Amino acid sequence: MKNYNFAFLDESSKRAVRRALLKAVAIPGYQVPFGSRELPIGRGWGTGGIQITLSIIGKKDILKVIDQGSDDSVNAISIRSFVRAATGVRTTTDSQEATLIQTRHRIPEIPLRGDQILVLQVPLPEPLRMVEPLESVTKRMHAEMDYAPIWLALYENIVRSGDIELGADYPVMVENRYIMMPSPIPRFDNPKLHKSPALHLFGAGREKKIYALPPYTDVRSLCFEDYPFRVEDMSGRVCRLCGAKDVFMDEFFDPASGKRLYQCSDSGYCEKRKENQPRG
């Protein structure tokens, strides 16, 4: 890739993304429009996240790429090798070693530090879309904090079915100002966003939006006083590979034994635990 600029994008494109990022950091939870570029990667493959990564990465960064918790999916491997080819930076699967982590659908189990940046790939950035199809209207609703329709949708959910039935991508309130989609992370990961020391950057390539949570931002999952927010119940689940508990697990059905088996969704975390265990 000799004919390309460092990190593939030309400097003016990167600057444009960084300007959008600065604005996003200045207004936590607010969706900033940006001029999303074409990339040699299929749509729906996290082009929003990749553009952020390419625009902020430096030669000394150590990169980790996660796809639904895993470092080894086709998606994660191809993004990782693309960025490595375009920058020459070192890559890792260890979340604690990484300075820059791009992810889809998970946040690492080990709490992030202030010297780390998490870039999240976002398919649907607009929390008001479920109640309002028009972009011009949702923009005005955010400006006026006109969030009653979202609350109403949650209320209606409870009235009809007895509970809030949202799964992943559960909306959050940022600094008591903007309602934001955390990207399709499980509810289990929502609390990790609250007052995290790390910088979180969200990129939606198709919808051309960037938003951010600067360090120590107040992030609360929407809930009613008498219907508190709940994460997925992982109690009683033990990782078949490393023995971990109280982390987010993937579930398998083992046809041989007819049993359900569990395994850490965060493969880097699982690997690290196995390495630190005495071999038997």
Partner 1 sequence: MDKPFALELDGLVVRYGKGCPLCTDSAQALQRNRCPRCGSIWAVRDISLRVREGEILGVVGESGSGKSTLMRALYLDSQPTAGGYYLGRYHDGKTNIYSISLQQRKYIRSHLLGMVYQNPHLGLRMFFSAGANVAEKLIAAGNRNVRSMMNRTGTLLEHIEVPLGRLKEPPVNFSGGMQQRLQIAKAVANNPPVLLLDEVTTGLDLSVQARVLDLVKRIQREFGVTMIVVSHDLAVVRMLAGRTVVMLDGRIIEQGITDQILEDPRHIYTQTLVNSLL
The residues of the shown chain that bind partner 1, judged by CB under 8 A, are 143-146, 148, 151-152, 155-156, 158-160, 224-227
Distance from C-alpha of 211 to C-alpha of 33, rounded to nearest angstrom: 9
Q: Count Cβ atoms below 10 Å from residue 144 Cβ, excluding itself.
A: 8
Contacts of 37 (CB under 8 A, 6+ apart): 9, 13, 47, 51
Active site residues: 29, 239, 242, 264, 270
Give the nearer residue to partner 1 in terms of CB position, either 63 or 173: 173
CB of residue 146 to partner 1, shortest distance in Å: 7
Q: Nearest distance from residue 140's CB to partner 1, in Å?
A: 9
Given the complex with partner 1, which of 142 and 200 has the nearer CB atom? Answer: 142
Indicate the residue among 151 and 252 with the shorter CB distance to partner 1: 151
Element (H, E) at 157: helix 148-161
Closest CA to 99 of 85, 118, 78: 118
- Return d(Cα 55, Cα 8) in angstroms, integer: 9
Report in angstroms how near the CB of residue 142 gets to partner 1 at its nearest.
Answer: 12
- Helix ranges (H only) for 162-235 are 190-193
Residue 204 DSSP symbol: E
Backbone angles phi, psi at 101, to 5 degrees: -125, 125
CB of 141 to partner 1, least distance (A): 11
> 11-26 vs 47-56: helix axis angle to the nearest 10?
100
Smallest gap from Cβ 164 to partner 1, in A, equals: 10
Six token digits for residue 114: 């202030």
Q: Are 109 and 247 in contact (CB under 8 A)?
A: yes
